Chain A
Amino acid sequence: MRLFDLDKWEEILQTITRNKSRSLLTAFGVFWGVFMLVFLMGGGEGLKRLMARNFEGFAQNSCFVMPGTTTKAYKGFQSGRSWTLELADVERIRRSVPGVETVTPMTARWGVNVWRGETKGNGTLKGIRADYARIEDPHLTYGRFITEADEREYRKVCVLGKRIYEELFPGVDNPCGLYICVDSIYYQVVGVSKMTSNVGVMGSAERSVMVPLTTMQRIYHYGDQVQTLGFTARRGVTVTEIQDRVESVIKRAHFIAPDDGQAVFMFNMEALFRMVDNLFEGIEILVWLIGVGTLLSGAIGVSNIMMVTVRERTSEIGIRRAIGARPGSILRQVMAESIVLTVLAGLAGITFAVLMLQGLETIVASTGADVSFQISFRMAVGAAAVLAVLGGLAGLAPSFRALAIKPIDAIRDE
């Protein structure tokens, strides 16, 4: 049997177009199923990528400590006491918790005005140490990151976040060496970071102005106090495993009751990552369930309609058999009809879904995020192949019913 036999295709086309509205409605079931599956999968993937950007460059095995208010009286202190972290805590943790790798203190001032001449931007001033780069990859576009020498010498240098850089230096290719001004203090720009993460405890990385911690402490008279401690775990150790040790070290040092659950805030990135991962896994399962379910019901619809069609065509099939159509030829015809209908509907569904995803991408892109929502070509081809198989399966029952038609029954059927 030649695949590109014009007659066979004509036969198939003729039967499909004979009852256009019915074929169309049947095809719609498959169309919608494929559309749902592809669109939801593309959308889910895109959402995941969008979400992943918030974590990009962020060490997953990290945790942040922030002070809260005590809720229990302990060692002569009343409950409801505020306390602060101090630089010495870095050393304490490093000494007492063997699993930690990096411990780095941070301080921030939110909502500061950042000036460059007459241009004003709004951002977060962050005092950090050089080893902060171990927690979040700075992704430098220009220059360098804060170094230990900067800290030692209290240099007034800064690394700008992407947005701040774009606002203050429009049209300037490389701002390194130029100056910005925060709270009447001038800092020399030494680097530009394109960190995009939105996690962590100090706000958006894109709007940050990072300066050496020591410089900031001195300028704002913070003394030994720091706002946040970030730490990462060694390879082979999870942050969750050492989190409790860190907490108890901090609590002992600051006279906090060991069973006080409110006094120390721990932001465990690992747990957060895991949660988001689980969430997307759940979404993916849901997408598959919905998509495959819809597709399946579409295919069953095709099968059902083909059943009706075969019944309607009983006499025609009988005539064909009487004048010499072999059973195989009838079988192939019904199968081919089912496959053609399913595949055509499915391809339309894929095309429509791809167009919709493209639209979604354009909309998302207009908000500044550059994320691909599109499904891969491999997946599209795979979907088409699955559709062909599905169409074949849908055609099985009707074509066997067609086979069961005996020429005499059909001829007598008037």
Chain B
Amino acid sequence: MSLIHLENIHKTYHAGAPLHVLKGISLDIERGEFVSIMGASGSGKSTLLNILGILDNYDEGEYRLNDVLIKNLKESRAADYRNRMIGFIFQSFNLIPFKNAMENVALPLFYQGVGRRRRNALAMEYLERLGLRDWAHHLPSELSGGQKQRVAIARAIITHPQIILADEPTGALDSQTSVEVMELLRRLNEEGMTVVVVTHESGVAYRTHKIVHIKDGLIGKIEENPNPGASPFGEGGLMK
């Protein structure tokens, strides 16, 4: 049984003229995979990511996450699934500006009802793993982009999610830090985490093991990339 099972997903936006964004996506992602979804802007990749992240509904088809049918969920149920099964990494980091790094990392545990002391201790542990121990009490505005993204990664993995969804994780970073962040994601994947990266940069996509090309709301081709390190774009921080 695959971790993510998408079957004939359709999605139409009704803002003014109806816009048929996803036109029947079927995709399976296995546990432990490191996948990128690649496409130009407007191809529907972000919509697909929102559906994968239970941030948006779909009109037709079937989405099973860890063998749980995700369809027309109540908001509180969706929130619980997001909290426990999915770790998000965003292009613009999306840290809460008035909370320090540790509090930001601990926030998902707050919504699980984990006590303050345990929560903060766990957050410190994860920050340390990502080499941010000394920055734990700094506000996001005092951190560099790479540091912010590492805080966001710590926040994404603190709940031991089934899957990590990264939406253009390197979009706001320079090439050097982009390499670092991708390296981090690769290491997480090696530890057994399923990672899905949405990107339009081929340099990023070719660092993953499997590249799903999406075009005009349909899956174009699925490319296996058995040797990601050997990608010509990935060398020496020249991803872009």
- Chain A residues in contact with chain B, CB under 8 A? 6-7, 14, 18, 315-316, 318-329, 406-408, 411, 414
Give chain B interface residues in 130-177, CB to chain A under 8 Å.
155, 159, 167
User: With the chains together, A65 CA to B108 CA distance in Å?
Assistant: 85
User: With the chains together, A318 CA to B82 CA distance in Å?
Assistant: 13
Give the nearest-CB partner of B56 in chain A. A408
User: With the chains together, A138 CA to B18 CA distance in Å?
Assistant: 91
Are the CB atoms of B98 and A323 closer together than 8 Å?
A: no
Give the nearest-CB partner of B53 in chain A. A322
Give chain B interface residues in 95-129, CB to chain A under 8 Å.
95-98, 107-108, 110-112, 116
**Which one of B55, B75, B96 lies within 8 Å of A327 (CB-CB)?**
B75
**Which one of A320, A323, A324, A408 lies within 8 Å of B50 (CB-CB)?**
A408
Are the CB atoms of B90 and A411 closer together than 8 Å?
A: yes
Are the CB atoms of A326 and B56 closer together than 8 Å?
A: no
Report the minimal beta-carbon distance from A65 to chain B, rounded to whole angstroms.
79
Are the CB atoms of B55 and A324 closer together than 8 Å?
A: no
Report the minimal beta-carbon distance from B217 to chain A, rounded to whole angstroms.
17
User: With the chains together, A6 CA to B119 CA distance in Å?
Assistant: 13
Give the nearest-CB partner of B159 in chain A. A324
Quick check: is B227 within 8 A (CB to CB) of the other chain? no
Are the CB atoms of B55 and A328 closer together than 8 Å?
A: no
Quick check: is B64 within 8 A (CB to CB) of the other chain? no
**Can you name 24 A-B pairs with beta carbons within 8 Å?**
A7-B110, A18-B98, A319-B94, A320-B107, A320-B111, A322-B55, A322-B82, A322-B88, A322-B94, A323-B82, A323-B88, A323-B108, A323-B155, A324-B80, A324-B111, A325-B79, A326-B79, A406-B55, A406-B56, A408-B50, A408-B56, A411-B90, A411-B92, A414-B92
Are the CB atoms of B56 and A324 closer together than 8 Å?
A: no
Q: With A323-B108, A323-B111, A408-B50 given, name 17 new contacts (CB 8 A).
A: A7-B110, A7-B116, A18-B98, A315-B94, A316-B97, A318-B94, A321-B79, A322-B55, A322-B94, A323-B107, A324-B80, A325-B79, A325-B111, A327-B75, A407-B55, A411-B90, A411-B92
Contacts of B110 in A (CB 8 A): 7
Give the nearest-CB partner of A321 in chain B. B79
Are the CB atoms of A329 and B55 closer together than 8 Å?
A: no
Contacts of A407 in B (CB 8 A): 55
User: With the chains together, A18 CA to B111 CA distance in Å?
Assistant: 22
Report the minimal beta-carbon distance from A17 to chain B, rounded to whole angstroms.
10
Contacts of B112 in A (CB 8 A): 324
Give the nearest-CB partner of A6 in chain B. B116
- Chain B residues in contact with chain A, CB under 8 A? 50, 53, 55-56, 75-76, 79-80, 82-84, 88, 90, 92, 94-98, 107-108, 110-112, 116, 155, 159, 167
Report the minimal beta-carbon distance from A87 to chain B, rounded to whole angstroms.
89
Q: Which 8 A-B pairs have the closest CB atoms?
A: A324-B83, A326-B76, A324-B111, A326-B79, A319-B94, A323-B108, A327-B75, A408-B55
Contacts of B53 in A (CB 8 A): 322
User: With the chains together, A185 CA to B84 CA distance in Å?
Assistant: 103
Give the nearest-CB partner of B111 in chain A. A324
Contacts of A324 in B (CB 8 A): 79-80, 82-84, 108, 111-112, 159
Give the nearest-CB partner of B95 in chain A. A319
Given contacts A406-B55, A411-B90, contact A323 B83 (CB under 8 A): yes
User: With the chains together, A66 CA to B108 CA distance in Å?
Assistant: 87
Contacts of A315 in B (CB 8 A): 94
Are the CB atoms of A326 and B88 closer together than 8 Å?
A: no
Give the nearest-CB partner of B87 in chain A. A323
**Which one of A329, A408, A414 lies within 8 Å of B111 (CB-CB)?**
A329
User: With the chains together, A326 CA to B79 CA distance in Å?
Assistant: 5
Q: Which of B53, B83, B110 has the most CB of A within 10 A?
A: B110
Give the nearest-CB partner of B77 in chain A. A326
Contacts of A322 in B (CB 8 A): 53, 55, 82, 88, 94
Give the nearest-CB partner of A412 in chain B. B46
User: With the chains together, A197 CA to B110 CA distance in Å?
Assistant: 68
Contacts of A411 in B (CB 8 A): 55, 90, 92, 94, 167
**Which one of B50, B80, B90, B94 lies within 8 Å of A326 (CB-CB)?**
B80
Report the minimal beta-carbon distance from A249 to chain B, rounded to whole angstroms.
85
Contacts of B50 in A (CB 8 A): 408
Report the minimal beta-carbon distance from A309 to chain B, rounded to whole angstroms.
13
Given contacts A323-B83, A324-B108, contact A316 B96 (CB under 8 A): yes
Report the minimal beta-carbon distance from A340 to chain B, rounded to whole angstroms.
17
